[in-house]
Chains A and B, each alone.
Chain A
Amino acid sequence: MRLIYGFPIFCMTLSSTSSQPDNPIVLDDRVCRLSGDWNAQALAVSGEVYRRVAQLARARPAASWDLTGIAKFDAVGAQLLWKRWGAVLPQGIALTDSQRALFDVLAEYPVEQAPAAPAPQLFDWVRRIGHGVFVGLEHGLGLLRMLGALFWDLGRLLMRPSRGPWREISAQVYRVGAQALGITALVGFLIGMVLSYLSAQQLAVFGAGQFIVKLLGVATVRELGPILAAILVAGRSGSSITAQIGAMRVTQELDAMEVMGISHGQRLILPRVIALAIAMPLLVLWTDAIALIGGMVVAKLELDLTMQWFFGQLPDAIGIKNYWISIVKGTTFGAWIALVACHFGFRIKPNTESLGRGTTASVVTAITGVILIDALYAMLFDEMGI
């Protein structure tokens, strides 16, 4: 049996003393001689451990052992032999001092067997569905509780405005609002153009090109602008709020605040919710405007409608009520995103995996919730006839 050396995982250039004979195990009638390397690196070759175990198994029970020829020996190799011998040193073994010391350690600290794994349960999936439902309810309850605490904190803020976290709020408005202007403008402009291209083609078939103003205006201001801005902000600011609060849990900053008597609600949740509730409607209006400019450019190129005419038609086409709807939606979406982000941030456990999972859950929940709220608004406004 030849060993497969020079295997790509390992090069043994460092080990100047290691010499690998053709066969690390030589059995004869009375003596089992081991040589070569018996360390983790030498054993980490495909199939090597199984080969050696099979060969060791062939040694006679009465055979004596000679380990003095081993060049490199470590606890991994020792464990392999130890198991073969049934956790006792065989009689008449030849060892070097360091090898004997290693086996002494093995003898001193016996490996206890791990408790048996619990048997797989029947109907486990039923239990998991039930668990999922309870987790969902728990999240809902947690969000509701946080909303209640938020109104409480808001009330206290209105009672004593001078003690409010205004500096934090303005910093957050800048971070979630002003710094998001670029990305919302880019995405809004491109979506406006795409929508305009598609509509222009269809409208041109009927010769109804001038209706593009009404179509684009209402669709953008009432639906697309708020949704687009909300999705971008949820991905951009929602995730960062969750990760920030989660990291504060990991570094025990949340505990430190609690010990100092600083309310999480007042200092962390309230400023973020207020900041997003202020910044979101402004971002929505900004996204609306840029998307309409994108649509206007394409209308000029495709349908030859002048920009002045397009611009002049906008007030009649959209109407002030659609603008108010846009602003109301923006505020709701902003508050929702901040609330969800804080909720998941506070649930993060102090380990890296929980941080990643919490951030994902926060963004997914925020975006799904935004679309759900949008659908509710559509039904509500339909009932109200606006």
Chain B
Amino acid sequence: MTAAPIISVQHLTTAFGTHVVHQDLNLDIYPKEILALVGGSGSGKTTLLRQILGLDDPQGGVVKVFGRPVRDYTGQDRIALTHRWGMLFQAGALFSALPVFDNIALPLRELHHLPETLIRDVVLMRLSWMGLTARDADLMPSDLSGGMIKRVALARALALDPELLFLDEPTAGLDPQRADEFVELIRVLHRELGFTVVMVTHDLDTIGALASRVAVLAEKKVLVEGSLQTVMATKHPFIDAFFHSERGVRALGATAAKDVNHGKP
């Protein structure tokens, strides 16, 4: 990891009233990696994601995206920045008044001047990547199943070929088979298109299948970051409960078993 970080969170402090969520939190995210943010409920994973996106302001510290504080992007710069990232919201956040096609076409139409024929080709191409058909393009978001909502939302997040993709609980609410398919889809697209992924997730299967690096949020900071093995070798009550539980061992299989042995010789 010698390249310059694409996102750099420095000395971040967040508090809701008197409840401190982050204190002096530091985190660097490097190009082309898939970073999983892991932490208990209320550890401020989603809040951190929102602060990186500039949706929320931290009380202290700075969040740098592409080398510049995210708050410094204003006007045209901010618009240009938003074309370089995409976000998959937990519940999809599809525009419920627009059909699937228009949802995916919206970011392209917002560029203005792209001919409608090209937009149509690009939208149908994205749908085909997601395993959806041209017939699905006319459906309204309320007619979609949970898995389809995630796929359409991912297609919309990828509409402008972003360099950075944020995923908030990408597999939450999907059945195991759909979740596996969705993870595989992200993995293939990441391999082919080479974007950087920052994801918040609780799902050990997703972490095991996707993450190239894991950062654990606990005690108001990044407790430990590194490969899954490094993280699992760390002694901490949260990590024990999260990764070495019966569920964790089952999900991570051999990795977990091996590392448990390493941790307790």
Which of A's residues lie within 8 Å of B, judged by CB? Answer: 9-14, 39-41, 43-50, 74-76, 79-80, 83, 98, 101-102, 104-106, 109-115, 349-353
Contacts and interface: CB of A to CB of B under 8 A. Distances in A.
Contacts of A111: 121, 124-125, 128
B161 A11 contact: no
Contact of A102 (B77, B114, B193): B193
B94 to A, nearest CB: 10
A24 B124 CA distance: 26
Nearest to B125: A111
A45 B113 contact: yes
A348 B92 CA distance: 21
Given A98-B194, A353-B96, A40 B76 contact: no
A148 B125 CA distance: 53
B115 A351 contact: no
Contacts, number: 110
Interface in B30-60: none
B141 interface: yes
A9 B126 CA distance: 24
A105 B115 contact: no
Contacts of A83: 121
Contact of B122 (A9, A50, A76, A109): A76
Interface stretch (B132-140, B171-179, B200-208): B132-140
A75 B80 contact: no
Name the 4 nearest CB pairs between A and B, nearest first.
A351-B96, A353-B97, A44-B111, A74-B161
A50 B83 CA distance: 23
A12 B76 CA distance: 9
Contact of B111 (A9, A11, A105, A350): A9
A2 B242 CA distance: 59
Contact of A48 (B96, B113, B141, B161): B113
A353 B97 CA distance: 5
B84 A349 contact: no
B193 to A, nearest CB: 7
B118 interface: yes
B156 to A, nearest CB: 14
Contact of B108 (A76, A110, A113): A76
B246 interface: no
A112 B126 CA distance: 11
A40 to B, nearest CB: 5
B36 to A, nearest CB: 24
Given A351-B142, A352-B97, 12 more contacts: A9-B111, A10-B80, A40-B160, A41-B111, A44-B113, A47-B113, A48-B113, A76-B108, A105-B193, A106-B125, A109-B129, A114-B120
A349 B115 CA distance: 33
Given A11-B77, A49-B118, A112-B133, A350 B113 contact: no
A105 B113 contact: no
B264 interface: no
Contacts of B126: 75
B235 interface: no
Given A105-B129, A350-B142, A351-B97, A40 B161 contact: yes
Nearest to A39: B161
